[in-house]
Amino acid sequence: MVLATHDPVTVPPTPYAAGMNEGAIVLQGVTKRFGDVRALDGLDLSVPPGTVYGLLGPNGAGKTTAVRVLTTLIRPDQGHARVLGLDVMERPEEVRSVIGLAGQYAAVDENLTGRENLRLIGILTHLPRPAVNPRAAELLERFELTEAADRPVRTYSGGMRRRLDLAAALVHRPPVLFLDEPTTGLDPHSRRELWRVIEELVGSGTTLLLTTQYLEEADRLADRIAVVDGGRVIAEGTAAELKARMASTTLELSFHDARTAADASELLRPLAGSPPLVEGTRVELSVDDGQRALIDALRDLDRAGLVLASVALREPSLDDVFLALTGRRTSGGGGDDPDGDRAQADRGRVPVGRKIG
Amino acid sequence: MTVTSTAVRPPTVVRVRRAVADARALTWRNLLTYVRLPQLVVFSTIQPIMFVLIFRYVFGGAIQPPPGQSYVNFLMPGIFVQSVAFGAVGTGIGLAEDMGKGLIERFRSLPMAQSSVLAGRTTADLARNVFVVFLMAVVGFLVGFRAGTGPLPFLAGVALLLLFGYALSWVFVLVGLGAANAETAQAVAFPTLFPLVFASSAFVPVESMPGWLQAFAANQPVSVTVDAVRALMLGGPTISPVLQSSAWTLGILAVFVPLAARRYRRAI
């Protein structure tokens, strides 16, 4: 008998085929009300197979509700939702067999060990019994939880729990994966670690829908991004397209005196899309290509003999994106920046603080 | 190449086998939680033993048992039923906790038999009750309890009260699924259970209560179950109380299993 190297778990045959002109994940005019609140207000979405799609929006935008509709947890009031061509309302059981969900809360049993959690999911998703233990061990290894595997989850750190939660979503090798705010509440180190894990994951042809409040996260992980507000998509495109359309990179310069700042703003005006903003000794320029503008600005200033105190590039945050798209700020104010880089840049005027995507 | 085959639901035999396997897996998981959490072990073992000892030695002397019976023999059938009735609250608390932690949400997104979440919870609590009743029987024996009717009627009594406890678990499935958290589930539970358990024949003869209370106390489900278990373990007419208790058990199951299943499908 020939043993396959993979567990003999196959995706159930579905009417969906890669050649069809339908996204792996589709929402069409989906609405959902909770009492007076319109959580989804005609949401349309199509995620091409094998890609990573980011749903970006503030708290209450409807991101989680969209994920819950797609993962069969709630029924939409109107509209259609399909995963791999399977209607979530008509064929919820089959939808569940092709999806994995990792939620905002680490939905793992904290009284069980990491290994027991994964074994339980393996049994519940009907892996062949001999495959259950190897699959759990393989995932523990891949998510660097082998050492903690036999400790109760209540002893895990926040980052470890999220990794285990993600591993639990992958046990039955679902071709479509939903990650609902996978890094919310994590410290910057754990967040980067989880990003790395997710990046490794998506190489393998998995279709991934990711919700996030962090532009940086969507930018780093997603092929395409939909900005969601009030239960609708208000902008859609690649990260670069969105940033170009909605909010540009800000080049922040500061000088030792206001006079120099005024001169510099005159000098650098051609670099910016709109007139530079001058505030005392500070000058802010909205630019499309941050790195190019930085080089040009430094060269021009040097030639003109204007001495800089500090310079920084600030990538647009979700807050900036929202301001550009809707004219209002997100309720969280500046709190969208995932790990305080922006705050640090503002405070310390760190020279060229950011790598621009 | 076009793929047009449609997904096929597995045959019924496979589905039933999977549902049983899923329920067993979740039963195991729920029992493991009892073992892992010391406070739950205390709640489900020390507390029933304390009840036995307190009623045997503190209140027992002041309570007049029916003629010809020792109080400890009168007490034990009642305290068995009391412990499974209070144990049913644990079913609701466990489910409310699982909901709060997002575990139910995960289960609902998995390609598993959804019936197994409630089946696994109630079965685990039934297994816990088997253990608790065994423990209390041992402690009861040590403090003088002697069932006079023989092993088979004794086991029949145990089976009857375990089934009654199982039915009550389903009432608290409904409570647990509707509660915002474990504390709420608990808060709903005790005001409903206390009158049923204490205004019953479990600890005192109903005849010692005021007349207006007797009508309720003599006929409510806890009392008829206690009376049936008492008859099976100590002797006396069994048919009427056993039938009444079984009718309550089946009636509760018939009402609350469908209600709980419906509530689960709409939970979250």
B209-244 confidence digits (pLDDT tens): 998 999 999 999 999 999 999 999 998 899 999 999
Contacts of A96 in chain B (CB under 8 A): 109-112
Within an 8 Å CB–CB cutoff, is residue A298 touching chain B?
Answer: no
pLDDT per residue over B111-125, tens digit each?
Answer: 999 999 999 999 999
3-class secondary-structure state, position A42: strand
Cα B104 to Cα A27: distance, rounded to the nearest angstrom: 24
pLDDT per residue over A197-214, tens digit each?
Answer: 888 887 778 899 999 988
The first and second tokens of residue A210, run together, are 């990711």
Please check whether residue B161 is in contact with residue B84, taking contact to mean a CB–CB distance below 8 angstroms: yes
Q: Look at A46-55, A94-103, B31-40, B220-229 and tell me which has the smallest mean pLDDT.
A: B31-40
Q: Look at A54-58, A346-350, B190-194 and tell me which has the smallest mean pLDDT.
A: A346-350
Interface of A with B in 72-91 (CB under 8 A): 72-74, 86, 91
Residues 6+ apart with CB under 8 A from B265: B114
Q: Quick check: B5 and A13 CB within 8 A?
A: yes
Residue from the list B9, B18, B101 with its beta carbon closest to the beta carbon of A105: B101
Question: Per CB distance under 8 Å, which residues of B are interface residues toward A?
Answer: 1-9, 18, 21-22, 25-26, 29, 32-33, 36-37, 101-103, 105-112, 116, 268
Phi, psi of A50 (to 5 degrees): 75, 10
Max distance between CA atoms of chain B, in angstroms, equals 87
Confidence (pLDDT) at A194: 86
Confidence (pLDDT) at B200: 93
Every domain of chain A and the residues it spans: 25-243, 247-348
Confidence (pLDDT) at A276: 85
Mean pLDDT for B87-102 is 91
Over 70: is that where the pLDDT of B8 sits? no
Instruction: Provide the 8-state DSSP code for A337.
Output: S
**Which pLDDT band holds residue A292 (cuts at 50, 70, 90)?**
confident
The first and second tokens of residue B106, run together, are 């995960």
Over 60: is that where the pLDDT of A239 sits? yes
Confidence (pLDDT) at B15: 87
Phi, psi of B235 (to 5 degrees): 105, 165
**Which pLDDT band holds residue A330 (cuts at 50, 70, 90)?**
low
Please check whether residue A112 is in contact with residue A119, taking contact to mean a CB–CB distance below 8 angstroms: no
Cβ neighbours of B31 (radius 10 Å): 17
Mean pLDDT for B236-254 is 95
Give the angle subtended at the CA of A75 by the CAs of A74 and A78, to the nearest 5°: 140
**Which pLDDT band holds residue A106 (cuts at 50, 70, 90)?**
low
Note the Cα A128 to chain centre separation in Å: 33
Confidence (pLDDT) at A199: 86
Instruction: Provide the 8-state DSSP code for A5.
Output: S
Q: Under CATH, to which class is A25-243 assigned?
A: alpha beta
Confidence (pLDDT) at A16: 63
Cβ neighbours of B186 (radius 10 Å): 18
Confidence (pLDDT) at A352: 34
Confidence (pLDDT) at A181: 92
Cα B147 to Cα B240: distance, rounded to the nearest angstrom: 20
Q: Look at A133-147, B139-153, B184-198 and tell me which has the smallest mean pLDDT.
A: B184-198
Over 90: is that where the pLDDT of B9 sits? no
The dihedral sign for the CA sequence B55, B61, B62, B65: positive
3-class secondary-structure state, position A25: strand
Confidence (pLDDT) at B267: 62
Within an 8 Å CB–CB cutoff, is residue A106 touching chain B?
Answer: yes
Measured in angstroms, the CA of A173 and the nearest CA of chain B are apart by 12
Confidence (pLDDT) at A167: 94
Confidence (pLDDT) at A329: 64
Mean pLDDT for A93-119 is 90
Who wins on pLDDT, A46 or A194?
A46
Who wins on pLDDT, B163 or B190?
B163
Confidence (pLDDT) at A289: 79
Confidence (pLDDT) at B179: 84
Pairing of strands A78-83, A25-34: antiparallel
Q: Under CATH, to which class is A247-348 assigned?
A: alpha beta
Instruction: Provide the 8-state DSSP code for A113.
Output: B
- Give chain A's mean pLDDT: 82
Cα B263 to Cα B255: distance, rounded to the nearest angstrom: 13
Confidence (pLDDT) at B91: 92
pLDDT per residue over A120-150, tens digit each?
Answer: 999 999 999 999 999 999 999 999 999 999 9
Within an 8 Å CB–CB cutoff, is residue A32 touching chain B?
Answer: no
Q: Look at A114-118, A154-158, A240-244 and tell me which has the smallest mean pLDDT.
A: A240-244
Please check whether residue B79 is in contact with residue B202, taking contact to mean a CB–CB distance below 8 angstroms: yes
Residues 6+ apart with CB under 8 A from B67: none
Q: Quick check: B18 and A72 CB within 8 A?
A: no
Tell which of A22, A119, A126 to mutate to test the B interface (max B CBs under 10 Å): A126
Phi, psi of A284 (to 5 degrees): -120, 130
Confidence (pLDDT) at B6: 45
Question: What percent of chain B has pLDDT above 90?
Answer: 68
- Give chain B's mean pLDDT: 90
Contacts of B32 in chain A (CB under 8 A): 111-112, 116
